[in-house]
Amino acid sequence: MKNKKVTLLLGLHSHQPVGNFDFVFEEAYRKSYLPFMEVAGKYPDFKFTVHFTGALWEFFEDKHPEFMDIIGEMLAKNQIEIVISGFYEPVLAAIPEMDRRHQIKKSLSYIKKKFGTRPSGLWLTERVFESDVLKTLVDIGLSYVVVDDYHFLQAGISDRNLFGYYYTESEGKKIGVFPINQTLRYLIPFKKPEEIMDYLKWVRDNAPSDAACIFDDGEKFGVWPGTFEWVYEKGWLKEFIELVLASDFVETDTYSGYMKKRKPLGRVYLPSSSYFEMGEWSLPSDVAVKFTDFVDYLRKNRMFEANRMFIKGGIWKNFLVKYTEANIMHKKMIFVSNLVNSYEGSKKGRALLHLMRGQANDAYWHGVFGGLYLPHLRRAVYSNLLTAEKMVSRDIFVRDDMDADGYDEVYMKNSKLSVGITAKDGSIYELSSMEKGINFQDTLTRRFEHYHKDVEVKEEGKQDEAKSIHEIKRYVSSRVKKEMVYDWYERRSLLFHILPPDTTVSMLRYMKFRELGDFVNMPYNLRTDRAKRTIYLHRNGGIYTENGNYPFEVAKKVVLDGNTVSFTLNTKGRVPFTLLSGVEFNLHFVKPVFRLKDAEYHGNAEMFEGKGDMLVIEDEYFGIKLEFVCSEECGIWVYPVYTLSQSESGMDMVYQGSSIIFTYPLKHKIFNVSLKMEE
């Protein structure tokens, strides 16, 4: 086998989420996309495959048209091949079949229009494979799809037989599937070129076939911590390319080029899966702790690699169970998709574009990158979905189990506002300005994540060498550690608390308060009046204290009228001592200013306790004013909500919004509060 050559199939998947900051696009272009092409372009015999998502193509066209010329020149030289995905990088398995076709066909038509070629391959977003996606791909006529080697291992194919491609089929229509080599994913570009060449020699000498496949993030080549210096300033990429081209046993090719020269290794049917790490991230956090402990045990006892094919975590759709906010956003997307795809008016094309942007995958899940934890990504999803919804619908009033949890929701919308209420806990899960395209209810519950168990306190920690983001140690300051607080209820709005009279805003912020009632996370009876745009919620519950238990009732009424939502809380029951009522709202802001009488507070940094019957909130970023008006003077408490999540650079403390609590003595009484939104 010494005379056999290894074909290196190098693919770069480059992506920025819809809604990411402009400076992030620009930095990635300057530190990764452009320098890679500039270096590689000097070696036209070094062939590789590229994938850019729709948000990046639009960015290149708008800001850097010269990059489009570079791509065109490299295509003309047959140095590169372009593959596609859904245009705005959705997880194809998570969107309706009709929308898969819209997304893929948009990618195909875009590349054809800009570069005069029809791509034949598909980068499968996050390598989330399900059999119903396969049917879409073969029906559209794609020749191959790139997935992970882990898919093949789970199908019982040994790792030594993963150096080529296989055929799979749907209803007799076949498509090639390439396995991405995990070893190469961890070697490139983090190890020295000589070490990578040694591995390719091993492939030559030990594998029965000859393709070494890697298709991984383009951002690894310059954006990930320490990689710009390593890849370009210290010359890793130049040295690697020159070693490959000088080698007598390695050749390079594109994926479609390789398929034209080689037959498939066989036939395969793949399970629903993604890459190995995704299985860890998608598990419930307490289970993920056990999973990682088990994997660590196997590694320490040198049992992991031999048994990796039998070790499986969760699947991508588990994120819709793990994070209620992801599920709400996903079901909103499904709801809007149905509206858009059934609409036949002149705005359908533009509405479909916004729907597709609202399907961008990043905000729907969380792994090693911020994802769901990044408010600006969720904000972009909601903005696009709300814009599409506004284009194709007028007033809406619908009752259904929209989030598939067994409890009915009611969603009502006019031209100004939309409100979603769930019977599961009598709370608001959506509160949107239709004019601005903002869901102010888009907050995030503070949860334990399995990687929190490894967080260490260090006042000044710096990553001083290039490492894979999977290897970075997690440090936080003592201030950040203090914000590692976990909520026992979903952080929604119109929550009704019954509290001891000595409760403070700080106790609420850090979850050190006692809840005496059962009205926060328990079911309510639900009824509606469509004509009056009114929702009624009612719960017979109780108050539970050391001095005894007392029956108690809470009724909530929600009325939508123009740009105002009115809330009425009617409480019935008596206790022989003083307690405190608390009506809680959790709302999404960026840079809010809270005005209470003559006082002013900046809510993304401060918490405060005040009194009054009116609270005004202005957010300059959104260009909108919210005005709460209460039926009587009450306590008004506000605190910021922070989450702690891992990212490519370590750990991030992120402002998710503010909690607003209106407090008053618990009595047999009616309390009204209205919320008005104005530009």
For 110, 550, 565, 573, the CA distances from 547, given in Å and listed in that order, are 70, 10, 38, 16
List, by residue number, the catalytic residues: 126, 217
The set of residues, in sequence order, having a beta carbon less than 8 Å from that of 66 and lying 6+ positions away, is none
Query: Tokens in use for 84?
Result: 């596609």
The set of residues, in sequence order, having a beta carbon less than 8 Å from that of 536 and lying 6+ positions away, is 526, 527, 528, 529, 555, 556, 557
For the beta carbon of residue 160, count every other beta carbon within 10 angstroms.
11
DSSP designation for 45 = T
For 200, 218, 305, 368, the CA distances from 231, given in Å and listed in that order, are 20, 12, 29, 22
Query: Tokens in use for 516?
Result: 């005496």
For the beta carbon of residue 278, count every other beta carbon within 10 angstroms.
23
What angle in degrees, to the nearest 10, is found between the helix axes of 348-357 and 375-392? 160
The set of residues, in sequence order, having a beta carbon less than 8 Å from that of 472 and lying 6+ positions away, is 225, 463, 649, 650
Residue type, 222: G
| Cβ atoms of residues 118 and 111 within 8 Å | yes
- Measured CA to CA, the distance from residue 653 to residue 648 in angstroms comes to 13
Exposure letters 207-216 (e unless 16+ CB within 10 A, then b): bebbbbbbbb
Task: Residue 207: name the closest of 390, 406, 5 by CA.
Answer: 5
Burial of 610 per CB tally in 10 Å (0-12, 13-18, 19+) = middle
Beta bridge partners of residue 602, listed in sequence order = 593
Exposure letters 117-145 (e unless 16+ CB within 10 A, then b): eebbbbbbbbbbbbeebbbbbbeeebbbb
Q: Is the dihedral of CA 355, 25, 374, 432 positive or negative?
A: negative
For the beta carbon of residue 201, count every other beta carbon within 10 angstroms.
15
| Cβ atoms of residues 145 and 256 within 8 Å | no
- Measured CA to CA, the distance from residue 193 to residue 196 in angstroms comes to 5
Phi/psi of residue 598, each to 5°? Answer: -100, 5
- Measured CA to CA, the distance from residue 57 to residue 107 in angstroms comes to 10
Phi/psi of residue 516, each to 5°? Answer: -95, -20
Beta bridge partners of residue 76, listed in sequence order = none
| Cβ atoms of residues 280 and 152 within 8 Å | no
| Cβ atoms of residues 70 and 62 within 8 Å | no
Phi/psi of residue 326, each to 5°? Answer: -65, -40
